[in-house]
Amino acid sequence: MWGSCFSCHKSGGEPSQVDREISAIIKVKIYKYKEIRQATNDFDALNKIGEGGFGSVYKGRLKDGNIAAIKVLSAESRQGVKEFLTEINVISEIQHENLVKLYGCCVERDHRILVYNYLENSSLDMTLLAGGYIKSGIQFDWSTRSRICVGVAKGLAFLHEEVRPHIIHRDIKASNILLDRDLSPKIADFGLAKLMPPNMTHVSTRVAGTIGYLAPEYAVRGQVTRKADVYSFGVLLMEIVSARSNKNTRLPQGYQYLLERAWDLYERNELVDLVDTGLNGVFDGDEACRYLKIGLLCTQDNPKLRPSMSTVVKLLTGEKKDIESRNITRPGLISDFMDLKVKGPVEKKPEEVNRRSNYYTNLSSDNASSSTGTRDNSNAYSSGASSSTAVSTLSSTI
């Protein structure tokens, strides 16, 4: 059923704000709760593929035969309701080969459920980072990594430049890049996305996202632009090339923070040392270094110096060949703003429990979370609970 009229408010009462907002959405399929129960075999525990502070996620087979990831929002999660509405509003209106596909939603009575296409190969942080690809058996050779980098860049370029109004994702990170059967990347989790109104230079908002991927100007001042996504992509790009999380406190000093390590190697003209040794030397050294330089270009401290995502695509594909002539300035490093306060109060967010897919469980709340870079990758959908505590200063999480 497709439509915009819902009988989902409490019997005998007025429609809630949530109901009124959802009723304005017309480009999304509406599933009956009965259909969702049938698809998941009455929410059988064997079909559960994720659980977190905003609810649970189940794998299910729909009536049309499609396999779906069914995200069930818990009734107690107010923040989740806000993200639920944002996600529907943003993703229901757009389609791109490098974005997840929303099949529809269920808003019957108090139920709030999102139905997405199921992606077989989980997320980048589950499979590539911290050696996860060794356990998952997925072959991340250089050509595969290159395709993933270009695919994510194209998806972001689409959001930033082709969609009107422009969309800022605000939470680009490895756990929000899902992989399909062919390892084609899909940008996921639009719960924190912001629309960029015409003629606006930035949007002021409470800081949200994940420390390690946050652009300095956004983390400190709460002013988000498309260049904040560019910064996050730059960090992600270096993670893909190196197969390292942006932070790993188990490593010696000077090696713990990926971006700082990359800058140090760049200054010494030794960037190739950052490339994943798991590739066993089977990669194009010049291309790998070019990708790392693009990552540094994207993470420059001054957001005005960062390229647009369409330019990034051209640099990655070789359509633009001027990376060597570009002046790359020092990146915005974590150490530069460790002691600076994040703008505005930041509330605690629910602890992540038995995460199997960061996207499907939609665990990014409207605050800054920390990422330890250490994960249990024993299962394609199980990354273990990471330490994610909201704080009022960046220094207390780093």
Name the residue with tokens 């009723």: 23
Interior/surface letters 280-295, b for 16+ CB within 10 angstroms, e for the rest: eeebeeeebbbbbbbb
**Residues contacting 270, CB < 8 A, separation 6+:** none
Q: What values do phi and psi take at 379, rounded to 5? A: -135, 145
**Residues contacting 297, CB < 8 A, separation 6+:** 234, 305, 306, 307, 315, 323, 326, 328
Radius of gyration of the chain, Cα coordinates, nearest whole angstrom: 21
Nearest to residue 369, comparing CAs of 344, 394, 345? 394
171 is catalytic: yes
Burial of 278 (0-12, 13-18, 19+ CB in 10 A): middle
Query: Which of 171, 189, 229, 276 is an active site residue?
Result: 171
Locate 106 and state its tokens.
Answer: 């269920």
Locate 101 and state its tokens.
Answer: 């596909």
Residue 50 CA, distance from chain mean position: 16
The answer to the question of whether 71 is labelled as a binding residue is yes
* Catalytic (active-site) positions: 171
Binding-site residue set for ATP: 71
Binding-site residue set: 71
